[in-house]
Amino acid sequence: MTALRIVFAGTPSFAAHILEALLNAQHEIVGVYTQPDRPAGRGKQLQASAVKQVALANGIPVFQPVSLRAESEQEALARLGADLMVVVAYGLILPQGILDTPRLGCINVHASLLPRWRGAAPIERALMAGDTRTGVTIMQMERGLDTGAMLCKEEVEILEEDDRLSLERKLEVAGTKALFEALHNIDQFMAQAEPQDHSTSTYANKLEKSEALVDWKLDASAINRLIRAGVGRNPAYSEYNGERIRFLKASVLVARVPEIAGVIIQADKEGLQVACGESVLNITVIQLPGKNPVSMREFVNSRKDFFAQGSRFDTSAVLVP
């Protein structure tokens, strides 16, 4: 394997973990591109991305352009003399001038089995759709969105208990393995790259906040998938007595109870049981406004009567996911 001069482009923790793995390989990381610092937390203080933090800790030059369209940005990239750019959840569009600058072009570590789930939220969309498998695709980058030829794939199973965070961790491992496989013999993989079948593609739109609002008329399985997909980023929620209740963990009870959707059947240490369009959802971890997540087992010890049997979650403003 020939050592490569690599420019890395990425932003969230998913990308940061892959960057950390690359830093322990024999390749040279000559620069890192990441999104500009963003306000975060209650104080809205500027916060560096996970990728930037890793780069600074390892003394790697960091670039944070708002856009890469300017000719000056392409010249800055050219000065790094990179063989290859590795892109992982970067979040900026790469114009043709950038794609053509590294000697071997740009490759992307995409968290799905392309051409399924092109776009910004492949992990969440796979969970919401009830997919039983997903994976990572290493692909050549071109002007289309996730449309480039594929170098290699690494598949993972989606278990019923997986949520966005656990599945992301699996895909970090799979992505690192697939990327290292491609880098080990990059010329051969590029020569044998497989075009995507565009007729079978699906698109993973970024999740909107409105999608996290639970529609209790849906079946319990669909609501449970929404909860799993929202963990850690866009939690599923519903209004109850004027408060926004977030749901962080649940399971489906197969018994069908003839109640109106959104009605609370029972609330005890075993969970918060809510009637849905089909079957019953048993919610075991919740979060109230301004509070930390708490299990229902803990919650009923201090607020036993908060969720009254027969009361109902607000369904007046439900938007179907």
The rounded distance, in Å, linking the Cα atoms of 287 and 235 is: 9
CATH 3.40.50.170: does it fit domain 5-204?
Answer: yes
Please tell me if the domain spanning 5-204 has the same topology as the one spanning 209-302: no
- Eight-class DSSP state of 319: -
User: How many CB atoms neighbour CB 320 within 10 A?
Assistant: 10
pTM for this entry: 0.92
Identify whether the C-beta of residue 266 lies closer than 8 Å to the C-beta of residue 284: no
Binned average pLDDT, 10 residues per bin, the chain of 321 residues: 92 96 94 94 86 98 96 96 97 95 97 97 97 98 95 97 97 98 95 97 93 94 97 94 96 80 94 93 96 96 92 69 38
Instruction: Tell me the pLDDT tens digit for each residue of 101-143.
Output: 999 999 999 999 999 999 999 999 999 999 999 999 999 999 9
Is 109 exposed, middle or buried, given 0-12, 13-18 or 19+ CB atoms closer than 10 A? buried
CB-based contacts of 220, cutoff 8 Å, min separation 6 = 252, 253, 276, 277, 278, 279, 280, 281
Q: Where are the domains of the chain?
A: 5-204, 209-302
CATH 3.10.25.10 corresponds to the domain 209-302: yes
Q: Which residue has the tokens 């498998």?
A: 133
When the pLDDT of each residue in the chain is averaged and rounded to a whole number, the result is: 94
Answer for the pair 193, 259: CB distance below 8 angstroms, yes or no.
no
The pLDDT score that the predictor gives to residue 19 is 97
